[in-house]
Structure 1
Amino acid sequence: MRWIYRHPLIYEIVDFLDSGGLSWLARGRALKSVKGRVLEVGIGTGLSKRWLKGCSLFGVDLSKTMLERAKRRGARVCVADAVSLPFKDGAFEVVLFLFSLRVMSDGRKALKEALRVGRRVLILEYLPLPRPLERLGFFVYGSKPLGRGIFDGLKVDSKRVAGIFVLHEVKAPQQEGSKNALH
């Protein structure tokens, strides 16, 4: 685990500064219409809670230190791996990956698991960045661009939400009439 994930306050400062605050604007725009039971995979410090008014927010992360802060913000949290979520099928209206899918070792498996527990998945990410910035992101966060083919076989709607940020919406395969889209 990267050092930054063990220091919540430093994480939040770097998160804000690395995009000049645009990542927070992007979160606000991406989450404005989210309602119901919401799971955030890689919840970190629970920053999203400020934009999820009236939602029942659950969060999973591998960092206990980050989860403690998310819990103080009002999220219900547990330590869990994105590829093996401890929830029933269809337990959530929405599953969120807010800049977290890119740091997971197997993004495709994490996405498959999110589609199992949620009706739709929202993924907020950077647009492809110049190589030096990608290297810096890997050094600080352990992040890498979303892998090619991660959305193969899925219906994905993508839109730019603020500056260099894009929101991908993926609906659960059962809703699209294609149960085996991820196999």
Structure 2
Amino acid sequence: MNWKTAPLLPTLYDFAVQNRALSRLGARALWNYDVDHLHELIAAQDPSALTLDIPCGGGLAIRDNPRHVAADLSQTMLKRARRKSTTLVQADIYNLPFPTDTFDVCLTYNGLHCLEDPPSALHELTRVLRPGGTLQGTTVIKGAGRDPLIKLLQRQGAFGNPGTRTNLRTWLEKASLTNITLTTSGAVTAFTARKSGTHHSPASAKVD
């Protein structure tokens, strides 16, 4: 995928995303999406939660907090994210280098639609969540009036295999996640779900 091998695409994307006015205009024009909702989700993060943020991109959701672990496959994105944090890991979302039941929260903002196999990524994110932990993210979906644009971006290698809103719910359910909430704005759906079990989060927990 171009996100891993071509530095220009990630750089241009990150520049647009980090600029609040430009991202607002672009999200509305491209996806009929109110990007302020994404910023509200980011602002509501719990700083005490041990959090995995993947793909972190250039660091839109990063907080300067050692309990916020930012990860991405792209070296270009990680270099840009380094401006905001030093708790960075180069990682493949399909094969995360963390033990099972590690994180209180997993974030995956604007990443699933870039993947060839979103269901496998959701299974892996669920694996590293602690019982009772929360998975939260946003993704472009099919069937919301932007399918021709999705197909164009797929041909350019920028998108993988996004699904419909129904597909997204099915993927989350098959990952054994519960309490699923989907909120759609234009062609973007925000999702929140929980891993079954009781959540215990000792203050001393850390990621090496």
What interval of TM-score do these two structures reach, taking the shorter chain for normalisation?
0.7 to 0.9
Q: Is the 8 A contact 2:113 2:140 kept in 1?
A: no
- Tell me the secondary structure at the aligned position of residue 125 of structure 1: strand
Task: Work out whether 1:41 is the aligned partner of 2:54.
Answer: yes
User: Measured at CA, do residues 30 and 163 of structure 1 come closer, stay the same or move farther in structure 2, by a change above 3 Å?
Assistant: farther
Which residue type is aligned with residue 18 of structure 1? G
User: Measured at CA, do residues 3 and 56 of structure 1 come closer, stay the same or move farther in structure 2, by a change above 3 Å?
Assistant: closer
Which portions of structure 1, spanning 4 or more consecutive aligned residues, are displaced by more than 6 angstroms? none
Which residue does 2:163 correspond to in 1?
A: 146
Supply the RMSD in Å over aligned alpha carbons.
2.9
What CA distance in whole angstroms lies between the structure 1 residues aligned with 2:82 and 2:16?
21
Which residue does 1:174 correspond to in 2?
A: 197
User: Measured at CA, do residues 23 and 144 of structure 1 come closer, stay the same or move farther in structure 2, by a change above 3 Å?
Assistant: farther
Which residue does 1:122 correspond to in 2?
A: 136
1:159 to 174, 179, 183: 183
Q: Is the 8 A contact 1:61 1:81 kept in 2?
A: yes
Q: Is the 8 A contact 1:27 1:48 kept in 2?
A: no
What CA distance in whole angstroms lies between the structure 2 residues aligned with 1:13 and 1:96?
20
Task: Work out whether 1:107 is the aligned partner of 2:123.
Answer: no
Which residue type is aligned with residue 140 of structure 2? Y
Q: Is the 8 A contact 2:109 2:137 kept in 1?
A: yes
Which is worse superposed, 72-81 or 13-22?
13-22
Superposed, 1:3-82 pairs within 5 Å as 6-7=7-8, 8-15=10-17, 16=23, 18-20=26-28, 24-35=35-46, 36-49=49-62, 52=63, 56-82=67-93
What CA distance in whole angstroms lies between the structure 1 residues aligned with 2:65 and 2:88?
17
Higher-Rg member (1/2): 2
- Tell me the secondary structure at the aligned position of residue 108 of structure 2: strand
User: Measured at CA, do residues 3 and 40 of structure 1 come closer, stay the same or move farther in structure 2, by a change above 3 Å?
Assistant: closer
- Tell me the secondary structure at the aligned position of residue 68 of structure 2: strand
What CA distance in whole angstroms lies between the structure 1 residues aligned with 2:181 and 2:157?
29
Any gaps of 5 or more consecutive residues in structure 2?
18-22, 200-208
Which residue type is aligned with residue 174 of structure 1? G
User: Measured at CA, do residues 75 and 107 of structure 1 come closer, stay the same or move farther in structure 2, by a change above 3 Å?
Assistant: farther
Q: Residue 165 of structure 1: CA displacement?
A: 3.1
What CA distance in whole angstroms lies between the structure 2 residues aligned with 1:18 and 1:41?
22
Q: Residue 75 of structure 1: CA displacement?
A: 4.9
Q: Residue 94 of structure 1: CA displacement?
A: 0.9
- Tell me the secondary structure at the aligned position of residue 108 of structure 1: helix
Q: Residue 164 of structure 1: CA displacement?
A: 4.3
Which residue type is aligned with residue 47 of structure 1? L
Aligned length: 173
